[in-house]
Amino acid sequence: MTETAEAPATPLSLTGRVALVTGAGHGIGRASALALARAGALVVASDLDLEGATETERLIRSAGHAGVAAAADVTDEDAMRAVVDDIVGTHGRLDIVHANAGVLMAGTALTQTLDEWDKTFTVNVRGTFLTARAVLPQMIEQKSGAIIITASVSGLIGEPDLAAYNASKGALVNLTRQLAVEYAEHGIRVNGICPGWIETGFNDPVLGHLDSEELDQLVGQQVPLGRQGTAEDIAPSVVFLASDWARYITGQLLPIDGGLTSM
Ligand SMILES: NC(=O)c1ccc[n+]([C@@H]2O[C@H](COP(=O)([O-])OP(=O)(O)OC[C@H]3O[C@@H](n4cnc5c(N)ncnc54)[C@H](O)[C@@H]3O)[C@@H](O)[C@H]2O)c1
């Protein structure tokens, strides 16, 4: 009988796994870090904002789980390598990476400044690429690993006033597939999540001008489930994709959007 002939052990568990989450100081990254830790992983919560990452560490530990904060800018190749070296030096392995850090700046093809375009691509695309480059050598050595990239429904469709952001998330959609194809032979799975409208404050540049009635109306029109999502709506899918329960899933993009992209 092959190793994969049996269903994975029940219940889903990440015990013994070591995980890195970028952009873990707030929002989706924090919820993902907490959920991965709750499932048993030791989680390194990294962010540009060390204060936010430290609060995530505190939340993980106060819930009785294992977590540690790290300061790192995903656009800095040396910084990302140093975080990974530190994880491997301390814990001996790195099994799960949630490449999640991102930024959003509103603008159309004509109003978006070149500076905003460059900054968006530097954090969202180069940052995710450098995160993957930093972790892949260790995963190749281990012959296993799960990378989850936070793309977005914005990478699957066009939307008003999000020229740079949607183009950058579109790049992440195909970076996910590309990495999945390139590293499958090393036992590494790469999948993307595509959140819809999630209440983290991240969308303030495009939604901040709406009052609550206007926002409810927009969400009512766009989201079949009739509400914005929360970071906690996203985290379970990250845990699933990180786990052996998803062992035959790679190169996929999972919309978690209340039905938005089915409209
Ligand atoms: N909120 C949404 O509606 C939504 C929808 C789809 C996708 N996303 C994506 O989810 C991810 C997280 O967004 P969020 O909603 O949790 O927003 P958030 O602002 O709460 O979190 C983003 C985090 O990324 C960190 N960050 C920014 N630049 C960084 C850098 N250079 N290096 C390291 N960390 C950096 C920030 O400090 C912050 O903690 C982003 O990639 C975003 O594009 C969000």
Domain boundaries, the chain: 18-200+230-254
pTM above 0.75, yes or no: yes
pLDDT tens-digit series, residues 181-226: 999 999 999 999 999 999 999 999 999 999 999 999 999 999 999 9
Asked whether the predicted pLDDT for residue 257 surpasses 50, the reply is: yes
pLDDT tens-digit series, residues 125-171: 999 999 999 999 999 999 999 999 999 999 999 999 999 999 999 99
Residue 9 CA, ligand 1 centroid: distance in Å: 33
Residue whose tokens read 């969202």: 124
Q: What is the DSSP string of 37-88?
A: HHTT-EEEEEES-HHHHHHHHHHHHHTT--EEEEE--TT-HHHHHHHHHHHH
Is residue 10 very low, low, confident or very high in pLDDT (cuts 50, 70, 90)? confident
Is residue 178 very low, low, confident or very high in pLDDT (cuts 50, 70, 90)? very high
HSE-up of residue 236 (Cα within 13 Å, Cβ side): 6
Residue 102 CA, ligand 1 centroid: distance in Å: 4
Asked whether the predicted pLDDT for residue 1 surpasses 70, the reply is: no
Is residue 6 very low, low, confident or very high in pLDDT (cuts 50, 70, 90)? confident
Our mutation pick for probing the ligand 1 site, out of 198, 227, 228, 230, counting the most ligand atoms within 8 A of Cβ, is 198
Asked whether the predicted pLDDT for residue 5 surpasses 90, the reply is: no
Pocket of ligand 1 (CB under 6 A): 22-23, 25-29, 47-49, 52, 73-75, 100-103, 123, 127, 150, 152, 195, 197-198, 200-203
Mean pLDDT of 62-87: 98
- Give first-to-last CA distance, the chain, whole Å: 44
Residue-averaged pLDDT of the chain = 96
The architecture CATH gives domain 18-200+230-254 = 3-Layer(aba) Sandwich (3.40)
